[in-house]
Structure 1
Amino acid sequence: MIILHFINRLKERRFLEKRLNSNKSELIILYGRRRVGKTFLLEHSLKQGLFFSCDLSKPQYLMNTFFNQLKPLLDLPMDLKISTWDEFFSLLKTTILKQKIRSVVFDEFQYIPQRDESFLSIFQRWWDKEFKKMNVFFVLCGSYVGMIERMALSQNSPLYGRRTGQYRLMPMDFFDSSLFLSKMDIISKINSYAVLGGIPIYLLEFSEYSNFKDALLEKIFSPGEFLLEEGRFLTLEEFRKDPSTYFTILNVISSGRTKPVEISTLSGVEHKNIGTYLSKLLDLQFIRKEFPFSMKKPKNVPLYFIEDDYLRFYFKYIFKNIDKIYRGMGEMVAEEVLKSFSTYVSFTFEKIAKQYLIEKINPDSIGRWWDKGEEIDLVAVKDRKLIVGECKWTNKPVDNSTFLKLKRKSSKLLEYLDYDFEEIEYYLFSKSGFKNIEKSHDVHLVDLEEISKVQRHHVK
């Protein structure tokens, strides 16, 4: 297994280190999807300080759990108890001053206000009166993205205006994820990314393999493996009150039903309530809401897709086969999966192509477009230039007919966008190269070799 302190995350580490060395008090909100590596980043960037792990325990139990960390530093008896957050913050202040502590982290802090609505107001008072004057670095870290934004970043939050910075930690893109998969060829890396996404702890599971099929069989389609049950545990962890409904909705979306009315009908959730469920899934970054690319506010009904690559794979292939896997039929399941896997990976290839364009041209906006049966895989705008792209994950080289079809669809896109672009460029992405088509100043041909040239380097 790769033994590294980090694989990249250079921007995130620089952000934290800069704020840590600012010589003033800082209140940082760090948030992002569960398993994305927030805790690992903090533990290895802030090696000296206090680290409080929050959960859904009752407030008095939790504050005393935190207090247990302070007792040895204050030479207090271990059987001493507290009963209010004011007592805890008073003792925290004393500890910071006595031990000259620079950093304090509350990990998964959103759990505390869920159980105690007064917590944020109490913390805000202590921040205003004490902590912001003490040259201390506070991090409030959480995984429930929408809830964090409401609790800490919205104008209605007691913390609004107090934070000195915020950072949303995203899953790694394909190019960073590839650093975990250094033994694999480019096709195996893309296949693995289609299964694992950019989640470091998942990528580590495949890091010792050179063959994608072996990794798939041994690390997913084998009883007892972490990634076999991760989808179920992840969903149960987030939806303790109603896991079956969320399971069903994710299952429906994974089957290709992407319109709210379809999701409502097939999941059995009333149409008037489906928005609440979808909103929570969006908060957790399990799904994404997508409109056709537009230069104006979109009028279309949005489509919903599973955003998390591992969950997409889990509900597409693992969930319905889990009994077979436990009966020792994992190899047979893997063979069946691989028969249709190329079609599945084509969506991931579009995602990688999008990341390639972001890396190469850093567009002002980027997305996908569809209208009246027409669809373009990639649409981007850079200044007054329109960029359109087509992605082909097939065993046949892309030829001139694909380019001509893209040009035809682009003329309809131009009518739809109703905007005066100065120029248009075309990008063709192909798994199997190109035939009878030439690149030019406005036609870009991107094969797997070209994608491989986007290099990132290990950062320890």
Structure 2
Amino acid sequence: MKFYNRGKELKNLEEIENSSKISSKMTVIVGRRRIGKTKLIQEAYKEKIYLFVSKKNEVLLCEEFISIIQYALDVKIFGQITKFKDLFEYLMNLATTKPFTLVIDEFQEFLQINDSIYSDMQNIWDKYKDNSKMNLVLSGSIYSLMKKIFEDKKEPLFGRANNKIHLKPFTVKTIKEILQENYPEFTNDDLLSFYILTGGVAKYVEILVDNSAFTLDKQLNLIFDEYSLFLEEGKNLLIEEFGKEYTTYFSILSLIASSKTARVEIESILGKNVGGYLDRLENEYTIIKKVKPIFAKEGSRTLRYEIIDNFFNFWFRFIYKYKSAIEIENYEYVKDIVNRDYTTYSGRFLEKYFIEKIKLSNQYSDIGTYWERRNENEIDIVGVNDDSKTMLIAEVKRRAQKIDINKLQEKATKLVSKHKNYEVQYLGYSLEDM
């Protein structure tokens, strides 16, 4: 699959590279695994030293890195270097006379190899950065660890990065463009399933495109297969994040994916206090977020939890939940469940799709959903522009025929009464509007 839609990031990286020719610059690139960080780096820098931090002994890692550096820079490194700090100092010193880009991928893995590397790098960076010309790019996939390394005031590399790029999934606009280019005859049902299953994560998009899996049936056949990457994906990506308590985290995420979105519901099912787990899932791991009714007060307890990543939501809802059937390779059983529940399940993501699409229009200062106590008068989308005093109130249904604007106006009575000076537009969105 060709490289898509990272123009803003590429321009940013090019500007940083140019400024590093005056004095060294440190850039941190973060984002979940499979999001396309390495491809972005490859696209941005045709000439670079690329070092991947694998889980091996520091001596062996240095031996591997020396070979790469000698080839990339056409230099000879004499003597035996067995500590990364010595290799990094060699490179920083070399950069005083020779500008170059150094990429260190999976940078957080140094924690497992030798955690003193970060303080050593800090000292060396501070010593050389003003008089050297290195474009240092540090990339990592375990967001919680990368955040700790660079944003925790107690950590040696706190405040050292000049730039940070948090790589996000493709927008709904880009997802649609990819589908148009690779499968021009797509239907909006195809677009919705493509969005639900990939969430715009570059690797998943690439796998579906490369396998011509553009319809729900083909996508499910690809996912539920003994050789599928997807079956172990959630486990492989998140166990390292969560550590030994992963079973509790997985149970919470499975419940949220199955629409048990209130803390009291989760605690009643699991029989334990989950406040700390929810807090870490939200603030440390950034896997879930709180969703409150738009205009809710800061301390409002009227809230739900939502898994941010579309694929993780699908994985916990249909793969983790039915792992017993998957273990015995009864894939037809699970596919039947997906197909049975798909209309209801996809409806939630159709709402999410339109919220993301409306955000891209930049018409509103705030966009969200709305509901009142006991989940009454729920409204799918509310957008407000406080400057122009305009408000959008919208209902989302798969089929346009099911949209009832009169009923929508009734549900919005209390909401509109609090915004008497606003011009209100009532709209319905369906698959036809994607």
Shorter-normalised TM-score: what interval?
Answer: 0.7 to 0.9
SS in 1 for 2:136: strand
Residue aligning to 2:77: 76
User: Aligned partner of 1:20: which letter?
Assistant: E
* 1:98-113 pair list within 5 angstroms: 100-113=98-111
Q: TM-score, normalised by structure 1?
A: 0.81
1:331-380, CA deviations, whole angstroms, 9 ceiling, x for partnerless residues? 45323321220111111111111122112234222222222123222222
2:343 paired with 1:342: yes
2:43 paired with 1:44: yes
Larger displacement relative to structure 2 (349-358 or 274-283)? 274-283
Q: Shift in Å at residue 425 of structure 1?
A: 2.7
Q: Distance in 1 between matches of 2:371 and 2:54?
A: 43
Count how many residue pairs are aligned between Structure 1 and Structure 2.
422
Residue identity (%)? 27
Is the 2:26–2:161 Cα contact (8 Å) retained in structure 1? yes
User: Aligned partner of 2:222: which letter?
Assistant: K
SS in 2 for 1:28: strand
Is the 2:85–2:117 Cα contact (8 Å) retained in structure 1? no
Q: Shift in Å at residue 252 of structure 1?
A: 1.8
Of the two structures, which has the highest relative contact order with CA contacts closer than 8 Å and spacing of 6 or more?
A: 1
Q: Shift in Å at residue 265 of structure 1?
A: 3.8
Q: TM-score, normalised by structure 2?
A: 0.86
Residue aligning to 1:223: 226
Q: Distance in 2 between matches of 1:302 and 1:54?
A: 40
Q: Distance in 2 between matches of 1:64 and 1:423?
A: 67
Is the 1:216–1:334 Cα contact (8 Å) retained in structure 2? no
Match of 1:238 among 238, 241, 246: 241
Q: Distance in 1 between matches of 2:400 and 2:425?
A: 23
Q: Distance in 1 between matches of 2:343 and 2:357?
A: 20
Match of 1:376 among 365, 374, 379: 379
Is the 2:93–2:128 Cα contact (8 Å) retained in structure 1? no
1:299-358, CA deviations, whole angstroms, 9 ceiling, x for partnerless residues? 225421222111111121223444545656434532332122011111111111112211
SS in 2 for 1:216: helix
Q: Distance in 1 between matches of 2:121 and 2:363?
A: 39
Larger displacement relative to structure 2 (334-343 or 210-219)? 210-219
User: Aligned partner of 2:133: which letter?
Assistant: N
SS in 2 for 1:110: helix
2:423 paired with 1:426: no
Query: CA distance change for structure 1 residues 327 and 381 in 2, over 3 Å: closer, same or farther?
Result: same
Q: Shift in Å at residue 392 of structure 1?
A: 2.8
Match of 1:411 among 399, 408, 413: 413
* 1:267-278 pair list within 5 angstroms: 267-268=270-271, 270-271=272-273, 274-276=275-277, 278=279
Q: Distance in 1 between matches of 2:64 and 2:299?
A: 49
* 1:119-268 pair list within 5 angstroms: 119-153=117-151, 155-181=153-179, 182-183=182-183, 184-207=186-209, 208-209=211-212, 211-268=214-271
1:174-211, CA deviations, whole angstroms, 9 ceiling, x for partnerless residues? 22123333313221111121122111111122214365
1:247-294, CA deviations, whole angstroms, 9 ceiling, x for partnerless residues? 2222122222122233234335x41x6424641465333322222222
Is the 2:70–2:76 Cα contact (8 Å) retained in structure 1? yes
User: Aligned partner of 1:394: which letter?
Assistant: R
Residue aligning to 1:20: 17
2:294 paired with 1:297: no
SS in 2 for 1:140: strand
Residue aligning to 1:458: none
1:224-261, CA deviations, whole angstroms, 9 ceiling, x for partnerless residues? 11122222222334334333222222212222212223
1:105-153, CA deviations, whole angstroms, 9 ceiling, x for partnerless residues? 2222223246645433332222222034322211122223344334324
Structure 1 residue runs without a partner (length 5+): 432-446, 452-460
Query: CA distance change for structure 1 residues 293 and 66 in 2, over 3 Å: closer, same or farther?
Result: farther
Query: CA distance change for structure 1 residues 96 and 133 in 2, over 3 Å: closer, same or farther?
Result: closer
SS in 2 for 1:105: strand
SS in 2 for 1:48: coil
Q: Distance in 1 between matches of 2:144 and 2:415?
A: 33
Is the 1:392–1:398 Cα contact (8 Å) retained in structure 2? no
